[in-house]
Amino acid sequence: MRETYVDFFKERGHAYIRSAPLIPENDPTVLFTTAGMHPLVPYLLGEKHPAGNRLTDFQKCVRTGDIDEVGDASHLTFFEMLGNWSLGDYFKEESIGWSYEFLTSVLGMDPNHLAVTAFAGEGDIPRDEETAQIWKSHGMRDDQIYFYGKEDNWWGPAGQTGPCGPDTEIFFDDGRPKCGPDCGPSCHCGKFTEIWNNVFMQYFKDAEGKFTPLKQKNVDTGMGLERILRILNGKETVYDTPLFTGIIGKLEDLSGKKYGENADDTKAFRIVSDHLRAATFILGDGVVPAKIGQGYILRRLIRRASRYMSKLGIEKTCMREIAEVVVSEYSKAYPELERNKDFIYTNITAEEEKFRETLTKGLRRFNEMIAENGDKKVLDGEMVFRLYDTFGFPVELTTELAAEKGLQVDMEDFERRFKAHQDNSRAGADQQFKGGLADHSEETTKLHTATHLLNAALKRVISPDINQKGSNITADRLRFDFNLDRKCTPEELKEVERLVNDVIKAAVPVVCEEMTYEEAKARNAVGVFADKYGEMVKVYTIGDFSCEICGGPHVSNTSELQGFKIKKEESSAAGVRRIKAVVGKFD
C-alpha cells in the first residue's frame, strides 16, 4: 500500500520524501510528529521545499491524546499516514480527482461505498460549493455529499496558530441503513469510516484568532494506512490487518492464548500490540525512557504494556521478542529500525526489568494506601504523587488500578503536587502533552537563528568538538543541550555571549541555499544524521560564523535578534550541559 500510494503520486509529478523522525526537528512545542503535514509546516507557510512543490510520503506519527482509549477497535498511539501535498501548486480539482481515481481505479473501491463531506461555510469563510461540484463531476451523487461546519470540515491549525483551511473528507460507507435521520459521515454509529482527508490549506490563523489568506494555496492530504487496510481487507478492526498479524501472533506464542477469544484478553492483546509497536518506533528515533517529555510517554507505553502482558499471563522478560517482530516487519519501510535495533532491544529490556522490580513494590504500597484510604471513594493526590515519584508509577497506571477498585483519583491535587515538583522547563514539557504545532512566530524564528549562533560560538570558545545534543524553543527562550563533561566557566559564557552579540550587531544576512547532502558536507555544514534528510538539503549560512543544515525557518538578518543573553547554564545529563538564553533588546 505504501508503495502503491507513493508510486501513484510520483507518476503525477510528486517527489517522494522520506518519513521525518517521530521527534519534531524544528517544532519544540510538541513531543511527537502528529501528522504528515507536521514536518512540512514551514513549506506550507511559503518556504521553498528542496524537493519541489509536489510531495508525497508515508509518515510515522504518534498521537498520545487517546492513549487510554487504546484497546478498543480503532484507537492507536502509533499510526502511519499516507500523504500528498501541493505547495502552492495544484488545488481542489486535481486533488479531488486523484483521490477519487486512486480509491476507485487503483484500489478498486466501489464508488457507491464512498461518502464525502465539504465545508458548509461559517463566519467569513464561504460554503465550499466548488468542492461539491468537483465531486459531482466524478459521478458522486448529491446523497453522497454532506456539508458540515468548522467543527467537522475544517482542519488545523494543529497548534494555536498556523496554516489551516476547509477540507473535504472521504468516508467509507459500509452500506448498512442509517441509524437515524441525522446519520451521516459525522455520526459515530460505525456506518461511516473516515479514510482520507484533503485539506485546502489557504488560511493562516494568528494568535488573535484572525484568519488571513496564506501566500500560497496548498493541498495537504492524509490517509490513515491502518484504516484503509482494514477496509480493503474487509476487517472489523485495525488489529485484524496484516500490520498486526506478526505482533499478535508472537503474543499468542508467548501467552499460549488466542486473540479474539474473550473480551478482556482481546483488549490486552491490542494494548500490548499498539504500545510496543509505538515504543519500538520511538526508541528507534533515539528516545530513552525518562521522567519527562518523549521519554515519559515511552515509559508510559512500556509500563502499560507490561501490565497487560501480565494480564495475558506473560511473566518473563520478553518485550524484546515483540520489538524484534516490529523491527523485522517494518524495517523495509523504516530502515532506521534495523540500524538502531541494538539500541531498541537494550533499552526496552532495561525498562521492562526496571518496571518489573518497582511494580511489585509499588503494588504492595498501593494496596496499603487503599487500606489507609478506608471508605473514601477518592484516592488523594499525595498518595498518587508518592507512587509516581517513588515507584515510577505513571499517574495513568494508578488511575487504572484505582478504577479497578472502584476508586477515583484526585487529579487536581496530583497535578498541583506534580507542578510544584517540576521546574519550569519540566512543566513546559508537560504542556506539550496537549499536542499542537509550533507557532512559527517571529519570536521562535529569532530564537531558532540564535540557536545556530550559540552553537557556532560554543564551538569557537570551548571546543570544535561541541555538538548539539538537543534543542527546545518556546516563545520565551531557547534551550540548547551540548556535549561537555564540565561546567562552563563564567568567562567562557561571557565570551560566547559577546561573540553572538557581535554577529547580531554586524547585521549579517542569513542565507539559505539548497544543495545535495554531499555538497553540504563538503562545506563543513553542521548537521545531524545524513539519513534524516532527502537528497537535497537546505543549508543556512550566517557569514563565516555559522553554516548548518536545517529546515528553517530563520530570520533574514541577524540584526532582527537585537541582542542575546544567556540566562542559565546547568547540567542536563551525564556529559551534557544545557544553556537557556533569550533574545531582545537589553540595556
Contact in structure between 255 and 307 (CB atoms under 8 Å): no
- Cell digits for 23? 521527534
Residue 220 CB, shortest distance to ligand SER, in Å, is: 5
Q: Contact region for ligand SER (CB under 6 A) — 6-14, 33-41, 118-126, 558-566?
A: 33-41
Number of residues that bind ligand SER (CB under 6 A): 10
Among 53, 117, 168, 197, binds ligand SER (CB under 6 A): 197
Considering only the stretches 20-28, 34-42, 230-238, 532-540, report the one whose residues sit in contact with ligand SER under the rule CB under 6 A: 34-42
* Options 177-185, 220-228, 305-313, 324-332: segment touching ligand SER (CB under 6 A): 220-228
Contacting range for ligand SER; rule: CB under 6 A; set: 99-107, 217-225, 331-339, 474-482: 217-225
By CB under 6 A, tell whether 298 contacts ligand SER: no
Part in contact with ligand SER (CB under 6 A); list of ranges 215-223, 379-387, 406-414, 491-499: 215-223
Positions in 451-510 near ligand SER (CB under 6 A): none
Task: Name which of residues 367 to 396 contact ligand SER (CB under 6 A).
Answer: none
Between CA 317 and CA 173 the distance in angstroms is 43
Name the residue among 378, 383, 348, 338 with its Cα closest to residue 365: 383
Closer of 154 and 545 to ligand SER (Cβ): 154
Comparing CB distances to ligand SER, the nearer of 34 and 468 is 34
Residue 117 makes contact with ligand SER by CB under 6 A: no
- As given in the structure block, the three cell numbers for residue 544 are 563565516
Take residue 133 and report the three cell numbers written for it: 461540484
| Minimum CB distance to ligand SER, residue 146 (Å) | 17
171 binds ligand SER per the rule CB under 6 A: no
Residue 35 touching ligand SER (CB under 6 A) = yes
83 binds ligand SER (CB under 6 A): yes
For 488-529, give the DSSP string. Answer: PPHHHHHHHHHHHHHHHHTT-BEEEEEEEHHHHHHTT-B-S-
Out of 15, 17, 23, 37, point to the residue binding ligand SER (CB under 6 A). Answer: 37
- Which ranges of 331-404 would DSSP assign to H, the alpha helix? 336-339, 341-372, 381-391, 395-404
For residue 444, the number of C-alpha atoms closer than 13 Å in the C-beta half-sphere is 18
φ/ψ (deg, to 5) at 134: -65, -40
| Residue 221 touches ligand SER, criterion: CB under 6 A | yes
Name the closest residue to ligand SER (Cβ).
Answer: 222
The DSSP bridge partners found for residue 213 are: 203
Nearest Cα to Cα of residue 455 among 488, 495, 514, 500: 500
Select the residue interacting with ligand SER from 47, 57, 220, 336 (CB under 6 A).
Answer: 220
Burial class for 393, CB neighbours closer than 10 Å (0-12, 13-18, 19+): buried
Give CA–CA dist 424/420, Å, rounded.
9
Question: Half-sphere exposure (CA, 13 Å, Cβ side) for 218?
Answer: 33
**Smallest distance from ligand SER to CB 340, Å:** 26
Instruction: Quickly list DSSP for 411-424.
Output: HHHHHHHHHHHS-H
Residues 326-355 within binding reach of ligand SER (CB under 6 A): none
| Buried-state track 449-462, b at ≥16 Cβ within 10 A, e below 16 | bbbbbbbbbbbebb
Q: State in angstroms the smallest separation of the CB of 154 from ligand SER.
A: 11
Q: How far is the CB of 397 from ligand SER (least distance, A)?
A: 29
d(CA 570, CA 314): 43
Give the CA-trace dihedral at 530, 531, 535, 538, to 10 degrees.
-50
Q: What is the nearest approach in angstroms of ligand SER to the Cβ of residue 96? A: 14
- Considering the complex, state which of residue 201 and residue 314 has its C-beta at the smaller distance from ligand SER: 201
Q: Under the criterion CB under 6 A, does residue 155 sit at the interface with ligand SER?
A: yes
User: Diameter of the chain by CA atoms?
Assistant: 75
Q: How far is the CB of 391 from ligand SER (least distance, A)?
A: 37
Select 226 or 351, whichever has its Cβ closest to ligand SER. Answer: 226
Decide if residue 157 touches ligand SER (CB under 6 A).
no
Q: Within a 10 A sphere around the Cβ of 130, how many other Cβ atoms?
A: 15
Closest approach, Cβ 155 to ligand SER, in A, equals: 5
CA atoms within 13 A on the CB side of 113: 17
Tell me the window of 216-224, 257-265, 476-484, 519-527 that interacts with ligand SER (CB under 6 A): 216-224
Q: Stretches 12-20, 29-37, 343-351, 511-519: which one binds ligand SER (CB under 6 A)?
A: 29-37
Is 199 a binding residue for ligand SER by CB under 6 A? The answer is: yes
Selected binder of ligand SER within 21, 24, 28, 36 (CB under 6 A): 36
**Least CB distance from residue 165 to ligand SER, whole Å?**
10
Cα torsion through 434, 226, 323, 260, rounded to 10: 110
Q: Based on CB atoms, which residue is closest to ligand SER, 197 or 445?
A: 197
Per CB under 6 A, residues contacting ligand SER are 35-37, 83, 155, 197, 199, 220-222
